[in-house]
């Protein structure tokens, strides 16, 4: 148990049997009336985001979430197999738990897997990853980065929008949260 004064970003709360992560919080002390805490919470399993207000000092139940560094090994049908880098145990996660992270996973890539009482909740990737473009239409002479975008298929099979001047074989940096092209990577 904690009080609303202990809230911080990333803290996982157990509200009505569901797990919610604190995305934002703000302590508000109005001129009249009691202080309160305005929060933005994200459901750990569904990803739904809600706004919730608590009176200051209210007790909230926290949930212990164990985050482990794991290495993606391979895909087994619809499931994804990860190896715990501490004890080398293999853990099979369903596609629903992996979610959108599957678009950016390559074999042997590091990821953080969150568990609550032994149940996997979600997979967290770094903010950006570097992937190779395996196919995109050839650019035309005179194409500029500000002229627009075109679809490009990454080595994971996922398709994103890239500037017109990019060609097949180019390594690009991609934001794992928004699927946006961030720039070219030259080795």
Q: Does residue 141 surpass a pLDDT of 60?
A: no
CATH of domain 67-124: 2.40.50.140
**Band of pLDDT at residue 139, cut at 50, 70 and 90:** low
181-185/171-175 β-pairing: antiparallel
Which pLDDT score, from 0 to 100, does residue 147 have? Answer: 63
Q: Name the percent of the chain lying above pLDDT 90.
A: 20
List alpha helices for 87-157, DSSP H: 95-98
Which pLDDT score, from 0 to 100, does residue 124 have? Answer: 86
Q: Does residue 47 surpass a pLDDT of 70?
A: yes
Q: Does residue 28 surpass a pLDDT of 80?
A: yes
Domain extents in the chain: 2-60, 67-124, 128-185
Class of domain 2-60: mainly beta
Question: Taking all residues of the chain, what is their mean pLDDT, rounded to a whole number?
Answer: 86
pTM of the model: 0.71
User: Exposure string (b/e) for 66-75, b if CB count within 10 Å is 16 or more?
Assistant: eebebebbee
Instruction: Give yes or no on whether 2-60 and 67-124 have one common fold.
Output: no
H or E element in which residue 161 lies = strand 159-163
Which single residue is written with the structure tokens 């609303």? Answer: 4
Class of domain 128-185: mainly beta
């Amino acid at each position: 148990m904690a009080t609303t004064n202990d809230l911080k970003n990333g803290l996982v709360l157990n509200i009505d049997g569901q797990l919610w992560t604190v995305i934002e919080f703000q302590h508000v002390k109005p001129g009249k009336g009691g202080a309160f805490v305005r929060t933005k919470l994200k459901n750990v399993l569904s990803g739904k985001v809600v706004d919730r207000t608590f009176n200051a000092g209210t007790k909230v139940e926290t949930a212990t979430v164990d985050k482990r560094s794991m290495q993606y090994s391979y895909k087994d049908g619809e499931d994804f197999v990860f190896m715990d880098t501490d004890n080398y145990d293999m853990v099979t996660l369903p596609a629903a738990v992996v979610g959108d992270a599957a678009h950016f996973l390559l074999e042997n890539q590091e990821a953080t897997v969150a568990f609550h009482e032994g149940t996997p909740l979600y997979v967290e990737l770094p903010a950006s990853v570097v992937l190779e473009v395996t196919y995109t239409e050839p650019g035309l002479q005179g194409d500029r980065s500000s002229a627009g975008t075109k679809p490009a298929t990454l080595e994971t099979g996922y398709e994103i929008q890239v500037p017109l001047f990019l060609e097949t074989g180019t390594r690009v940096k991609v934001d794992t949260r928004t699927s946006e092209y961030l720039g070219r990577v030259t080795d």
